[in-house]
Amino acid sequence: MGVSGSGKTTVGSMLAARLGWQFIEGDDLHDPGCVAKMQNGIPLDDHDREPWISRLADVIRGVDAESVDAVLACSALRTTHRDRLRAAGDTRVVYLKADAPVLRRRLKDRSGHFMPASLLTSQMEALEEPVDALAVDAGQAPPAIVATVIDWLGFASRPVRPDGGLANPPLDGEAPDVRRWSVVMGLIDVSLPIREGMPQWPGDPPVRLRRALQLGKGDGVNLTALEMCAHAGTHIDAPLHFIASGADASDVRLDVLVGRAFVVDMAGCPLVDAARLERAGIPHEASRILLRTNNSIRGLLEATTFHDDFVGVSPDGAGWLIGRGIRLVGIDYLSIGPHEGGEETHRMLLQAGIVVVEGLVLAHVAPGAYQVVCLPLRLPGADGAPARVILVSGDMPS
């Protein structure tokens, strides 16, 4: 979505080509009367847009019914328009955000399009910016925008060619169906795969996976034995981790582990302190926040060795979280506190009864509102527990 000139057709068709999805040009669904109006420089009103939005919703319904993946380019300037399109099927919204001078320049350079530049002002007025979409700077080169969108859709950690194309087809890998499904349904897995050699806190016992029984050796089944520290990979910290009389990992309340969560953009900050948190625009109603820091941008969780220069929350940051009534806080590396002085952060948060989730894979997740589902193993007596964590954008799948 975006106003005329923001590059919806260029970016949308390129994105569709990269993903092997269908491309649908929303402008093709305007009725001739509206096209004529626009050619004569007469702005469309909501009454004009009404049948068009209905047609677009029908298209989404049709595509959805056939289980076809598609990119639809349309302005969808109003919140009510987007709500109707979202209600028609499983959709994710990408907003190409551009300022008026850039748009004016582009529209002047463009021929063969029915929208004169004079209509731009009315479009800018009709525009209600989305809060729950991926907003991308439309001033960037289309391949860069396409790469960002592909990342956001969950096809992350995949090499992107300089021209924006994927080095591999997007749906390969070990479990293509699951991956495809999870993207289509707006489910994002933010858990780290558990494997030998994954980065762990220095000194922690390493992850061991071994086949105790093997079909190839004449056993009746394959049977894997797993040995790991409770703090390997994506996991929660229980109060018992730092507090001798604290609650253990089986004692965590489910209603804290599941519910509305905000992925907060902390890019560029070397330490998450109170001042940074204050400026981060965290909604007042937020009770669960997941911090997406430079750790994600640097791909630290995907590295094979431990890095001690990761970003963590300072003790005064922990104080800020406690003061704001946060009940769950997650971070994209193996400790909520920084390497130096992280103990105090842990103690403060755990003492306050805040659930700490560490080792979240957020590199492919856009900041914004989601539903989080965090399910740590039920381990009585343990000071932490490995967890499968997913984010759901939009409604839960039916």
* Chain residues in the site for Zn ion (CB under 5 A): 231, 237, 358, 384
Nearest approach in angstroms of CB 240 to Zn ion is 11
Cα R_g (the chain), whole angstroms: 24
Nearest approach in angstroms of CB 192 to Zn ion is 13
To the query of whether residue 364 is one of the catalytic residues in this protein, the response is: no
Who's near 347: CB < 8 A, 6+ residues apart?
A: 242, 243
- Token pair, residue 304, equals 């094979």
Cβ(360)–Cβ(331) below 8 Å: yes
Who's near 100: CB < 8 A, 6+ residues apart?
A: 120, 124
Which residue, 117 or 375, is less far from Zn ion as judged by CB?
375
- For 174-179, the CB contacts below 8 A with 24+ separation are 179/154
Quote the CA–CA distance of 76 and 3 in Å, as a whole number: 8
Active-site pick, 231, 235, 241, 346: 241
Which residue, 163 or 343, is less far from Zn ion as judged by CB?
343
Nearest approach in angstroms of CB 237 to Zn ion is 4
Kindly report the length of the chain: 398
Cβ(250)–Cβ(379) below 8 Å: yes
Nearest approach in angstroms of CB 300 to Zn ion is 15
Which residue, 96 or 360, is less far from Zn ion as judged by CB?
360
Cβ(14)–Cβ(35) below 8 Å: no
Quote the CA–CA distance of 295 and 292 in Å, as a whole number: 8
Quote the CA–CA distance of 374 and 257 in Å, as a whole number: 5
Which single residue brings its beta carbon nearest to Zn ion?
231
Nearest approach in angstroms of CB 374 to Zn ion is 14
The catalytic residue positions are 241
